[in-house]
Chains A and B, each alone.
Chain A
Amino acid sequence: MIKKFLFIHLFVLLLFTLSGCWDSRELNEIALASALAFDKEDDTIIVTAQVLNPGELASGQSGASGRVPVSSYQSSGKTVFEAIRKMTTELPRKLYLSHIQYIVFGEELAKEGIGDAIDFLSRDHEMRSDFFVSVSREVEAGEILNILSTLEKNPANKLYLSNQSSARNWGETTQTTIDELLINLMTHQTQTVLSVIIVSGDPNDGNDLSNVEKVQSDAKALYSGMAVFKEDRLIDWLDVYESRGVNLARGEIQSSIITIPCEEEGELAIEIIKGAAKTLVNKKREELEGTNEVNLQGRIGDVQCKTQLDTNKDIKKIEEDTSKVLKEEINRSIEKLQSLESDVIGFGQSYAQKYPQEWEKIKATWGTTFADMPIKINVKVKISNTGTTTNPLHNELEE
């Protein structure tokens, strides 16, 4: 009996001492934030938060009154945390950060270094680690949060999904999450690239419901290329094909369309359906040499010229042409990265894994080592089918 009594008391005691999430908050007492944007003005950090308006967002809810589905709140402070808490002067509820879908850094802030803002993101217990990080180009990060979108009522979700969809089907964006970013910044083995968000049209037009009442919206937020970082500083931008080259070299391509010129006039499009890459660094008499091996599998998706596709030889020819084009594309990306001395492909990481002790010595000067290193690129393309037809329609057209 005494044992039982002690036992029950132990449980009750544990309940009070160990409960980690002591503060209960009702769902209608929190402001669900979906995205955060950081800008810099002089010494202060400007934080913009996009807060969801659940009544408008939820489907099948009769309470929808035609108001905006999200609203953004802005405040500034010397630190991020200060700015976020200052928001309560305007926000009726406390900001709840667990459902953040993406974070965008302003161009200015990114050029000066994102390190200041990142500490809060990794330290705060409310932040999850699965949201995407990106950079805004030519507009302030805060302005991106003001643009309403049509298909997805929640603009943060729209940007999250189009980043995902572009990375999966086209290969221009990168799905960098906060913990990946932190690993890069802490190990120095790989430099960071982030997706870039731009705005087409006047960002101020997006700030109104009329933007989503048009067939063609006035202002749209979309992805374009990538931003190259050196440590935590933005140093340059990559265009469409340079971005895709980076993804190819990193083996992060899941699917994309490669256009190659035909033998005669016209173009031919290959759909990549599977991709993998390996990055190696070899030491030959104190000289370092990098190798980038890319293996791709594809199918012929679009032929705009006269050509024969029914023998293995024809296919082999196209495979070779494709790998040549891709090699060129990857080479352009790597050369640009070498000129920027920023190793985003991960040569540093494979070197560190192979020669951990030597890595420690040359860690600090890896940027220049990478820039001077000869890099061999091998691209292997395997074409597995030609779609639902064999020979192109063009062969028949002009006869």
Chain B
Amino acid sequence: MPFLFFKKGNNYKKKQLDNILNNDTSAKIDSSLNKNISKIKEDNGNSSDLVIRQFVIGDKQGTKAALVYIDGLVKEQRIEDYIMENLIFDIRQKETDNSNQNLFNSIKSVLTIGHTTDCSDFTQVYHSIFAGGTALFIDGFNKSIAAGTYGGEKRAVEEPSSETVIRGPRDGFTESITTNTSLIRRRIKSKRLRVEQKQIGKVTNTKVAVLYIDGLAKQKVVDEVYQRLDRIDIDAILESGYIEELIQDDPYTPFPTIYYSERPDSIAAGLLEGRIAIIVDGTPFVLLVPAILTQFMQSAEDYYQRSDIGTMIRILRYTSFMIALLAPSFYIAITTFHQEILPTTLIISLAAQREGTPFPAIVEAFIMEVTFEILREAGVRMPRAVGNAISIVGALVLGEAAVQAGIVSPTMVIIVSITAITNFVIPHFNLAIAIRMLRFGFMFLAGAFGLYGILIGIIAMILHLCSLRSFGVPYLTPFAPLQATGQEDSILRAPVWKQRTRPQLINNPETRQRSDKPADLKPTKPTRK
């Protein structure tokens, strides 16, 4: 469906759709209560979750009023305690004057609910009630009061399941945008934190919040983010993945150019580096731009453990990256083209395992890799209860039976396992999946051209990476272009007191991270007395 909008020469259909989508919600509120109610009913097709509660205000004038809200989105307790009770009982003390204007004001003054706005047209009314507010219509007034009775069911803040850490905060984003912004606000208690909300999606009207720290983020990038968000013309946003695909720089690349995270601490750290976060209502995954490759190789925990541990683990990750990408292709290239580069004893044991296997190495590798991918996908989609079955079948089929039946060689099983394990070391799923895809390309190159093919493949991959940009920032920063200060936090993780400047090219260059004198920050040994 979204593709409809991008097609040229479809203007007629587009107009028709626009009519349906926009309706005429911009109509002004009428002063007749009945008219208003029947319009709402008509607009919503008498939806069963739409609650219209009609009642009489006070006991003197007998002014009729109606509360309109959506069942399940509001906190009914608040409506009862802070709206209904006020309007039916508390109003009686102020109900002396007969003037209409005064009635409206006294109604407003007795409402003890925290957040109220006046609405004059239906767009505003709908905006409020679909977000969980309650609209108060009073007979005789062409205005409505929207009260913030937001509530309804939402998930509690839980530990994020996709990025686990051993040391570090355990809270994760939820599906509620207000919870999510509050989680960040709790970490960055500064008046410079900017949170700006907008709605995207013609049907879904999804709330999207843009967060950045004023002064740290480059104004140009902030403007660019708004521009790209404004350009989105789509009916539905159900997950931040929609936004990601619609605003990324290069649509045709396996590599992720927008970072996402479920962890408020990662996003807060990104904001402090001058990046811009995009929170989408209804998903715990928050986007962060601009993104560079090294970000996807980092875990929040790198910063919580000491710097030497962080550095070692990062080196381990980059090694795993190469193994996950190239292990099967190296195996194919060496066993079919370059048998001379292995020590004799090793080639003998490889040859012994290859004796009697029916397929060439490349076919064998493809069979095993595809089987593994299928098993993994099955494992992810399977109901939790039968998850164990997958591991049993996988271990038996891949590990034992296939080897014993002589269909694949034991070395191939080792290669597939090592690629699988190393792939899990990469902390971010979207980069891991990019490697999974590229691996097959490399396997084909190795099968057809040997190590030479792998080399050409690597050159092409690096050239492609160099050509990528994320909101104007080269994807391979700080390696290409090479930046001395950037090295402090890429493969290495320098001690916190040594990282004085924020990443160049990303943040506002005038800002410094820490004191000019690193000596002030360096922990000193206590002197002995």
A interface residues (Cβ-Cβ under 8 A, vs B): 7, 11, 14-15, 18-21, 24-28, 30, 32, 34, 52, 54-55, 57-59, 61, 63, 96, 98-99, 101, 126, 128, 154, 157
Knowing A21-B338, A28-B357, the reply to whether A54 touches B351 (Cβ < 8 A) is yes
Interface CB pairs A-B, < 8 A, 13: A11-B460, A15-B453, A19-B450, A21-B337, A27-B335, A28-B356, A55-B352, A57-B349, A58-B351, A59-B349, A98-B340, A99-B347, A157-B344
Nearest Cβ on chain B to A2's Cβ, whole angstroms: 15
Pair B352/A63 contact, Cβ less than 8 Å: yes
- Asked if B338 and A27 sit within 8 Å, CB to CB, the answer is no
Known contacts A19-B450, A27-B361: does B336 contact A58 (CB below 8 Å)?
no
**Inside 8 A of B360's CB, which chain A residues have their CB?**
26
Given A61-B353, A99-B347, 11 further pairs, Cβ under 8 A: A21-B450, A24-B450, A26-B335, A27-B347, A57-B348, A58-B351, A59-B349, A96-B339, A101-B344, A126-B340, A154-B344
Known: A21-B450, A34-B344. A28 touches B337 (CB 8 A): no
Please pick, from B336, B352, B449, the residue contacting A15 in the complex, using a CB distance under 8 A. B449
| Contact in complex: A30, B349 (CB < 8 Å) | no
Q: Which residues of A contact B351 (CB under 8 A)?
A: 27-28, 30, 32, 52, 54, 58
Chain A residues lying within 8 Å of B357, measured Cβ to Cβ, are 28
User: 8 Å CB contacts to A: which residues of B320-359?
Assistant: 335-340, 344-345, 347-357
In the docked arrangement, what's the CA distance between A55 and B352, Å? 4
Flag whether B226 is at the interface (Cβ < 8 A): no
State whether the Cβ of B414 lies closer than 8 Å to any Cβ in chain A: no
Q: Which residues of B sit under 8 angstroms from A58, Cβ to Cβ?
A: 348-349, 351-353
B217 to chain A, nearest CB (A): 32
User: Are B456 and A99 in touch, CB under 8 angstroms?
Assistant: no
Q: Would you give the shortest CB distance from B107 to chain A, in whole angstroms?
A: 64
Question: Which of chain A's residues has its CB closest to B467's CB?
Answer: A4
B242 located at the interface, meaning its Cβ lies under 8 Å from any Cβ of chain A in the complex: no
Complex Cα distance, B448 from A126, in Å, reads 20
Cα distance, A21 to B339, chains bound together (Å): 11
- Assess the B456–A14 pair: CB atoms within 8 A: yes
Q: Are B339 and A54 in contact (CB under 8 A)?
A: no
A24 close to B336 (CB less than 8 A): yes
- Decide yes or no whether B452 CB sits under 8 A from chain A: yes
Most chain-B Cβ atoms within 10 A of its Cβ — which of A14, A27, A101? A27
Q: Which of B336, B339, B348, B452 contacts A19 (CB 8 A)?
A: B452
Least CB distance, B179 to chain A, in whole angstroms: 44
How far does the Cβ of B402 sit from chain A's closest Cβ, in whole Å?
15
Classify chain B: how many residues form its interface, as a range: 20 to 34
CB-nearest residue of chain B relative to A100?
A: B344
Are A54 and B349 closer than 8 Å at their CB atoms?
yes
**Cβ-defined contact, B352 with A61, below 8 A:** yes
- Bound-complex Cα distance A52 to B347 (A): 11
**Shortest CB distance A349–B (Å):** 31
Residue in B closest to A128 when the chains form the complex, CB atoms: B340
Q: How far is the CA of A11 from the CA of B456 in the complex (A)?
A: 7
Q: For residue A160, which residue of chain B has the nearest CB?
A: B344
Give complex CA distance A18, B451 in Å. 12
CB closest residue in chain A, given B358: A28
Query: Which residue of chain A is the closest to B336 with respect to CB atoms?
Result: A24
Query: Which residues does chain B contribute within 8 Å of A14, judged by CB atoms?
Result: 456
A59 CA to B337 CA, complexed, in Å: 24
Query: CA of A99 to CA of B347 in the docked complex: distance in angstroms?
Result: 9
Give CA–CA (A25, B351) in the complex, Å: 12
Structural contact, B338 and A26, CB atoms closer than 8 A:
no
Structural contact, A61 and B349, CB atoms closer than 8 A: yes
Measured in the bound complex, the distance between the Cα atoms of B339 and A196 in whole Å is 30
CB-nearest residue of chain A relative to B344? A99
User: Are the CB atoms of A57 and B352 closer together than 8 Å?
Assistant: yes
Residue with the greatest number of chain B CB neighbours at <10 A, chosen from A7, A96, A99, A101 = A99
Asked, given contacts A19-B449, A19-B450, whether A25 binds B336 with beta carbons under 8 Å apart, the answer is yes
Minimum distance in angstroms from A277 CB to a CB of chain B? 32
- Taking a contact as CB atoms under 8 Å apart, the answer to whether B340 and A18 are in contact is no
- B446's closest neighbor in chain A, by CB? A24
Q: Is the CB of B339 within 8 A of A28?
A: no
- B452 / chain A contacts, CB cutoff of 8 Å: 15, 18-21
| Residues on B with beta carbons closer than 8 Å to the beta carbon of A55 | 352, 355
A128 surroundings in chain B (CB, below 8 A)? 340
Q: Which residues of A contact B456 (CB under 8 A)?
A: 11, 14-15
CA A55 to CA B356, docked complex, whole Å:
10
Q: How far is the CA of A179 from the CA of B352 in the complex (A)?
A: 31
A170, B377: Cα distance in complex, Å: 61
Query: What CA separation (Å) do A55 and B406 show in the bound complex?
Result: 14
Contact of A27 with B344 in the complex, beta carbons under 8 Å: no
A25 to B360 CA separation, bound complex (whole angstroms): 9
Give min CB distance, B439 to chain A, whole Å. 18
With A and B bound together, what is the CA distance between A110 and B266 in angstroms? 74
The 7 closest A-B pairs by CB, nearest first: A98-B340, A58-B352, A54-B351, A54-B352, A27-B354, A58-B349, A24-B336
B349 & A26 in contact (Cβ 8 Å cutoff): no
Interface string of B282-308 (1 = CB under 8 A from A): 000000000000000000000000000
- A19 pairs with B453, CB closer than 8 A: yes
**Closest-CB distance, A39 to chain B (whole angstroms):** 24
Asked if B355 contacts A54 (CB within 8 A), the reply is yes
- Cα separation A35 to B335 with both chains bound (whole Å): 21
With both chains docked as a complex, state the minimum distance between the C-beta of B58 and any C-beta of chain A, in angstroms.
72
Q: In the bound complex, do residue A24 and residue B352 qualify as a contact, i.e. CB atoms below 8 Å apart?
A: no
Complex interface residues of chain B between 436 and 451 (CB less than 8 A to chain A): 445, 447-450
Q: Determine how close the nearest CB of chain B comes to the CB of A371; give it in whole angstroms.
A: 42
Picked from B348, B447, B448, B463, the residue with its CB within 8 Å of the CB of A54 is B348
Give the distance in Å from the alpha carbon of A61 to the alpha carbon of B349 in the complex.
8
B316 smallest CB distance to A (angstroms) = 29
Closest beta carbon of chain B to A101's beta carbon, Å = 7
Q: How far is the CA of A34 from the CA of B347 in the complex (A)?
A: 12
Residues of B within 8 A of A63 (CB): 352, 355-356
Can you name the residue of chain A whose Cβ is closest to the Cβ of B332? A24
| Assembled-state Cα–Cα distance A57/B347 (Å) | 11
Distance of A66 from chain B, by nearest CB (Å): 15
Most B C-beta atoms less than 10 A away, residue of A14, A32, A58 = A58
Contact A98 B337 (CB under 8 A): no
Contacts of A34 on B, CB cut-off 8 Å? 344
> Whole-angstrom distance from the CB of B181 to the nearest CB of chain A?
41
Which residues from chain B contact A59 at a C-beta distance below 8 Å? Answer: 349
Q: How far apart are the CA atoms of A211 and B449 in the complex, in Å?
A: 45
* Nearest Cβ on chain A to B463's Cβ, whole angstroms: 8
Closest to A98 in B: B340
Chain B minimum-CB-distance residue to A31: B351
B352 engages A32 (CB within 8 Å):
no
Cα–Cα, bound, A99→B350 (Å): 14
Chain A residues near B350: list those with CB within 8 A: 27
Q: How far is the CB of B363 from chain A (nearest CB, A)?
A: 10
In the bound assembly, the distance between CA atoms of A238 and B171 in angstroms comes to 81
Q: How far is the CB of A96 from chain B (nearest CB, A)?
A: 7
A27 neighbours in B (Cβ, 8 Å): 335-336, 339, 347, 350-351, 354, 361
Query: B352 CB to closest chain A CB, in angstroms?
Result: 3
CB distance from B371 to the nearest CB of A (A): 20
